[in-house]
Amino acid sequence: MDTHPPLAPESGPPAPARTPRVHRAWPVAATAALAILVTGAFATLPGLFTRPVREEFGWSYGSIGVATSVNMLLYGLMAPFAAALMDRFGIRRVVTTALATVAAGALLTSTVLSEPWQLTLYWGLLVGLGTGSTAMTLGATVTQRWFVRRRGLVTGVLASASVLGQMAFLPALSRLVEHHGWRPALVTVALAACAVAPVVLLVLRDHPADTGLKPYGAAAFVPRPSPARGAVGRTFRVLRRACRTPSFWLLSTAFAVCGASTNGILWTHFTPAAHDHGMPATTASTLLALVGVFNVAGTIASGWLTDRYPPRRLLALCFALRAALLLTLPLSLAATPTPPLLAFVALFGLLDLATVPPVLALCRDFYGEDSPVVFGWISTAHQLGAALVALLGGTARDVFGSYDPVWTAVGALCAMAALLSLAIRPATRVPSSPAW
């Protein structure tokens, strides 16, 4: 649902163009994945610049954690509005604007930073808003519009793109921080975001009808929907309807724990925690990159399984295994990569984003055409959990001198989320809210 009028006249849809050998849905999905990949690299930077920024300016872990928490909070809060804005203004415009915003935020952080509030403004606000607009809801919207078949698989691929970006950039960024300081690392990701923007403008299209094609796997041509005006109002209407269903609250709570156990603790605090045990930052960053390697395989496999098995059971299994891994991590951390630590890296990587395809599948089952917006609100809960643990993790390190209590607490939360996932039951689909 975009601002442009439907391509089809009122008498009926246009005759579809000749079906290309490679359906246009795949280049569109690849371009969306590229945008998600680049903005995903921004998630790795707090773990790399926390210590050097603290040493340069003398700020506490807690004050730096405020900026990281604001970033994660806005990353989540922007998700439902981004989905509605894509319905209003189109996917291409929203993604291009988001890439420009994250580039500006990173460049400002690298050039004019001198006070903690500036880190919160530039990194927390600007980068948080930009990355939130190209996060999970972008994948949900592209999948919803362009695919009928292979939705679970495509969801897994697009979800894994974020961590693939972390994996691709993390080793190089860690070396930049070690040898040249933290500022060149920020400039690097800003330039990468600027480089992707023209690709988005050239390749990404808002709807299959723009190219005269059916969605991939669809039996019939789908005309371009009418424009969805009042994006903000629609976002809250969808939330109000979703809040009346128990499934929304169960999914939101479970996804909040997901955020706490990934972005909140692992991607933000693993490198400082490993450094506390004598491990060099470059080695810890390499281990996180390996998490990303296994993450790609795990998320794609989760998407494939979601097309074939009950999503709630897959979700519960992911949380149960993640709980066991986090509870045993304090015993594995050491100055060098040990076999137990390498096992943790591999297994956690397989589970890191494996929760996304089943959650999105459940949203589609329950909320239909409103599922991208509902998923955006559930993603907000994901980032609320991430922001809270990112802040508390730094504070716990200041107070206890160790991250061990945080690993244990988050592991217990994952065990609770496994039980909540099993409590989700099929329900009658909630009617979609009107676009106007």
Residues found in the chain:
436
Cα(62)–Cα(88) distance, integer angstroms? 38
Q: What element of type H or E holds 291?
A: helix 281-306
435 and 1 Cβ atoms separated by less than 8 Å: yes
pLDDT of residue 436: 34
pLDDT over 60 at 306, yes or no: yes
Compute the distance between CA of residue 436 and CA of residue 430 in angstroms, rounded to an integer: 18
Q: How far apart are CA 241 and CA 232, in angstroms?
A: 15
- Residue 18 neighbours by CB under 8 Å, 6+ apart: none
* pLDDT at residue 218, as a whole number: 79
Close Cβ partners of 179 (under 8 Å, ≥ 6 residues apart) = none
Q: State both tokens at 186.
A: 């920020």
Give the DSSP per-residue string, 154-190.
HHHHHHHHHHHHHHHHHHHHHHHHHHH-HHHHHHHHH
Which residues make beta-bridge pairs with 386? none
Residues 6+ apart with CB under 8 A from 420: 250, 253, 254
User: What sections of 307-338 are H helices per DSSP?
Assistant: 311-332
Please give the backbone phi and psi of residue 216, each rounded to the nearest 5 degrees, phi first: -60, 125
Query: What predicted TM-score, i.e. pTM, was given to this entire model?
Result: 0.70
Copy the structure tokens of residue 270. 């693993």
Residue-level pLDDT at 2: 41
What confidence tier does 433 reach under pLDDT thresholds 50, 70, 90? low
pLDDT tens for residues 309-366?
899 999 999 999 999 999 999 888 888 888 999 999 999 999 988 998 999 889 988 8
Instruction: Say whether 214 sits in a helix, a strand or coil.
Output: coil
What are the pLDDT digits (tens) for 371-381? Answer: 888 988 998 88
Res 43: pLDDT: 77
Look at residue 12 in the predicted model and tell me its pLDDT.
43
Least reliable range by pLDDT among 168-177, 253-262, 316-325, 349-358 = 168-177
Give the pLDDT confidence of 13-26 residue by residue, as tens digits: 444 445 557 788 89
